[in-house]
Each structure stands twice: as structure tokens, then as C-alpha cells.
A and B are shown apart, each in its own frame.
Chain A
Amino acid sequence: MQVARAAPVLGLVFLLLLPVFARYNDYVLQVFTHALLLATLALAWNILGVSGSISLGHAAFFGAGAYTSALLSLDLGVSPWATIPLGGVLAAGIAAIMGLFCLRLRGAYFALATLAFVEIPKVITDNWDGLTRGSLGLVGLPGLPSLRLGSYHFDISGSLAGSYYFVLGYGLVLLLLVTLMFRSNLGLALQAIREEEIAAEAVGIQVQRYRLLSLLLSAFFTGITGACYGHLIRYIEPGLVYGLHFSAMPMIFAICGGRFTILGPALAALVLYPVDQFIFHPLLPAGHEFLYGAVIILAILFMPSGVWGQLRKGHFVSIKTGSIE
């Protein structure tokens, strides 16, 4: 329990101070920036995950968000600050179509349908050369404009630390939103649906409406992350942003971290990705990602509620208990 109390605070202090320590080490900052992005993906994935549905197709939302924002800012010259939310909206639109076909399904069959669904936006993006420039991808995406607060000037795209703090800030905002959502009656409904759908319906929860809502919200924030990713990396292509990587990673982090908790998915991303990059990548340049396969197998066999869920045994998301899990 004490670990569970202290770890988030220590983690936050570490993340806030990291650029100070790592000032001369670009690689460390890049890795943690990407880890933070993956953490936001895991948080967003778990908005759906908490309702009991496992998606293997979130790359569809990630890619849709990335492409929407990239094309609008490239072709129309609109500021990324305006196009990023639109990326989220289009991702939610795609989720609505997905929901139409997939939300009648439960459990394994929902997961299989989402796995197949990614192919649709991917193949369309790949082939609609006139709009998306096809499999060549998009280069030279505009970076994120710097933010001005009075005389203070916050440069995002110009420096690694700027990008890092931007993603950290976005991650914290998303964490706050997810906490509010899970603690609200929406979160209550989603958990009830996950545990006992029939009983949930019997107490008056409109099951399908809430499942759709959680899918849309999850897709919206995944799309926002995808859009930010594009403007940070400045280059996207269908195989990359619709790739299995962005479907698999949030699922793996959420399940290993604990999909019945708020923080677990994000913590898993912030621990596993740096471990992969700093330890396994140098040892095994080809094949280091076996780590993710290994941890998900171990988690599903020995710790189905995830590491963070195990540490907080019996204290999953609750409207009553005070602390953030």
C-alpha cells in the first residue's frame, strides 16, 4: 500500500525534473517523450478497456487523428492547434462506424473485429493517393507553434525539452480527465457493465449507449495523441501510424499495468518502454520487442489484474476512496 501511495508522487517528481538531469542526453529525452505518448495512448485505450472490451484496433484512431491533422495543416495551412482536435473528432467518427458493426459483439469477438477493422482506414489511406499521397506518406509536417503567455515564450518544436514538457502536460491533463471520468457516474456505469452486464441493465444502465460513449471518448483521445505524434515527428506514413505497434502497445500497457485502475496503464508505459529502450535495445538490436510479448503472456497467466491492480488489491477505481489509483 505504501508503494502504491508513494510511487505516483515520486514518479511525477522524476518526470518533472528529468529534462534538468538529462539536459545533455537527447536520447534519454526522446525515449521518455515517446514513453509519455504511449502512456497517453494507454490511458485513452483504457477508457474503453474499463468497460471490459479489449480493442486490438486502436491504431485506426491513432492513424486517423494523425492523418486528419497533418493534411489539414499541410494543405490548408491551418494551425496545428486547430487541427489536432479535429483529428480527435475524425477518430471518434471512425469509432462511430466501428461501433455500428462491432459493439454488438462481446469479448473475444469484439477483439477480433477491431483487429480486422484497422485494415479499412489503413487501406483507404494507402490508396487514396489524391488526398493522402498514398503509401509515400507525408513529410514536412508543421511543428507545434510555440505558446506565448505574456512575455513568456514556450517553445515546443524547437527543443527536445519543449516537446517533452508539452507531452507531459498533455498526459497530465488526460490523466485528470480520465480520473474524473472514472470517478463519475460514467465510470461507475462502465465498470458495472464490465462486471455484470445483465445486472447493470437491470438497475437501469443503458448498456449499449455507455459502451458507445466509452468507445468514442477512447477514440477521440487516441486521435488527439496521433495528431500530436505527427506534429512532433513531422513525418507520417500509413504503415507507421496504422501499424500494429499503435494497436498493440496501449493494450499491452493497460493489461500489464492494470486495466481496472486509472494509473496502471500509464505507469506500465513509463516503465516498460524505457526498460525496452535502455536495456533490451542495446543488448538485442533485432528482436528486443520480445519483451512486450513476454510481459503480456506473464500478465495474463499470473496477474490478470495487472501489476498496479495487484498492488492496490481491492482498491480499484472507486467513487469513495480518496486517492488516485
Chain B
Amino acid sequence: MSLLKLEALSKKFGDHWALKEIDFSIDEGEIVGLVGPNGAGKTTLFNLIACRHRPTSGRVLFANEETTLCKPHKIQKLGISRTFQSSRPFAKMSTLDNVVVGRVFGGEFHLFAQSTDIDSARQLLELVGLAHKEQTPAGDLTLSEQRRLDLARALATQPRLLLLDEVVAGFSPVAVKQAVDLVRRVRQRGVTLFIVDHFLSLSLRVSDRLLALDHGEKVAEGRPQEVMRNREVIRAYLGTRYEDE
């Protein structure tokens, strides 16, 4: 059964079609990579799923429920969580508090954070390898640490679907390898993942399927190797000269 279903989703900014008639669906438990060159519409697609923008036409269905017109804070309650292309930590709050925020507002509301909230926040910091920094203000973390914190915070809301936007951009090969392990562990927790990854370093290794976009249109979908052999995808990434090689 599909967890997320996009039906003819389109978004127009001014005269420019950022996305055009995207049909796609993701099954529960899958890891799907979203690839495409700059300006292909990847982040726009995420913003539509996360209800930051409203589509010009088309529908988004999550767990068979239409979410096209939800408010951003509401979509999280239904089980979609996200990280941001440029990470957005709560800079002056401690690393632990950052994750606690996700836990507290993702779950049932209490006036005060419960000790179980703090415990599970600690476990998530452990998972992303930030346990030793729990009292550091999030703004003082390095870029890669902030990305992992973003991930921990998103996971803390206990999503069914997690949208990862460029989590490994600028990472060293070692850090990318760690991220691959991390993403697999996240999947083991029963989370479905949708990953934007411009340089393919993460999505090629972990994805079950890829969705390739170019100029706002779907050019290919399927198993990673197939998609990467697709002529349109090669042309989109490398230009026409490499098409026949």
C-alpha cells in the first residue's frame, strides 16, 4: 500500500512551472531518492509535500488522506517530518533541547517535558552521534553536526515519512559513509525515507528507487541503476554531449 501519493502535482511561480504534473507514489518502508540537477524542482516538491507551499493544481495524499491544503504544523502531526537544505537549528538552545522540542511538539502535549521525552531525545542524539554534545548550543556545532541534529530533531517527532533535503551536501567521503549507515538504521525504525540528494552520493547507495526530475518534469523513475542509465537523466545531469557514450 502506498504511504505517499502525488497526483498530477504542479506548481507555478509567476510564469515559470517549477513542477509539472508529477505522479508518483512511495510505499511504506521504502527509501526513495529524489534526484535531478539544480532547478529541477526537488526542494519545491518537498515544500509541497510538507505544505510550506500550496500546489497550483494536483493533490497530495498521505496514508490515503488528502493533505494538499494542510498547515505546516498540522502535516507534522499526521506523520511527515523534514530536514532543511540549509540546516535550521535553534541556535541558542542546547543540542538536547533542540531534539526535545521535536519530541514534545511531535507527540502528545504536556505542560512540561517528561523524563521519557528527555530520555528518547538522548537516544536520538546517541543514534546520530551527538550524545557528547548535548549541552552545547546548537549554533556552535559544525555544519555536519548541525545536519545530524536536524535529522535527530525530525526523527524525534516520530514521523512515518521523513523528507531529507541534502543531508550530505559538502560531506567528506567518510562522513557520507556514516550517513549511509545512519539512514539504514533510521529505516530499521520503521520510517519511510524520501531523500533529495543532488550529487547522488547518498541516494545511489541506499535507495530502493529513484525519482528523477528535470525542469519540473518527471524524467524517470525506477531502480537506481536503471534510472542512472536513462538517457534523459544523463542528459539532464551532463548535457547532450555525453548522451551517446
Residues on A lying within 8 angstroms of B by beta carbon are 183-186, 188-189, 191-192, 194-196, 198-207, 260, 305, 314, 316, 318-321
Contact = CB atoms under 8 A, between A and B. Distances in A.
A185 B112 contact: yes
18 contacts: A191-B90, A195-B90, A195-B92, A198-B72, A198-B84, A203-B105, A205-B73, A207-B73, A260-B92, A305-B92, A316-B93, A319-B113, A319-B118, A320-B94, A320-B96, A320-B97, A320-B118, A321-B94
Contacts of A191: 90, 92-93, 97
A204 B96 contact: no
A78 B17 CA distance: 66
B157 A204 contact: yes
A203 B137 contact: no
Contacts of B105: 185, 189, 203-205
A202 B81 contact: yes
A188 B97 contact: yes
Contacts of A195: 89-93
A206 B101 contact: no
Nearest to B107: A204
A232 B157 CA distance: 49
A188 B111 contact: no
Interface in B77-122: 77, 81-82, 84, 88-94, 96-97, 100-102, 104-106, 109-113, 118
B136 interface: yes
Interface in B18-77: 50, 52, 72-73, 76-77
B240 interface: no
Interface residues of B, number: 39
A320 B136 CA distance: 12
Contacts of A203: 76, 81, 101-102, 105-106, 153-154, 156-157
Centre residue among B94, B106, B137 by max chain A CB count within 10 A: B94
Contacts of A185: 104-105, 109-113
Centre residue among B76, B102, B104, B153 by max chain A CB count within 10 A: B104
Nearest to A209: B73
A204 B81 CA distance: 9
B243 interface: no
B243 to A, nearest CB: 39
Nearest to B91: A195
A321 B93 CA distance: 12
B73 to A, nearest CB: 5
A321 B135 contact: yes
B140 interface: yes
Given A199-B89, A318-B94, A318-B96, 19 more contacts: A184-B113, A186-B111, A191-B97, A195-B91, A202-B73, A202-B84, A203-B157, A204-B73, A204-B77, A204-B157, A205-B73, A207-B73, A314-B94, A314-B135, A316-B92, A316-B93, A318-B93, A318-B97, A320-B97
Contacts, number: 107
B84 to A, nearest CB: 7
Interface string B121-145: 0000000000000111100100000
A188 B72 contact: no
B167 to A, nearest CB: 15
Contacts of A260: 92
Contacts of A184: 111-113
Contacts of B134: 320
B90 A196 contact: yes
Centre residue among A196, A305, A321 by max chain B CB count within 10 A: A196
Nearest to A305: B92
Contacts of B156: 203
Contacts of A186: 111
Nearest to A180: B112
Contacts of A202: 50, 72-73, 76, 81-82, 84, 154
Contacts of A199: 84, 88-90, 153
Contacts of B112: 183-185, 319
Nearest to B153: A203
Interface string B2-26: 0000000000000000000000000
Centre residue among A189, A203, A260, A316 by max chain B CB count within 10 A: A203
A201 B106 CA distance: 11
A179 B113 CA distance: 14
A314 B137 contact: yes
A203 B75 CA distance: 9
A77 B34 CA distance: 71
A198 B85 CA distance: 12
B73 A188 contact: no
A297 to B, nearest CB: 22
A200 B52 CA distance: 13
A318 B134 CA distance: 11
A198 B140 CA distance: 20
A321 B88 CA distance: 23
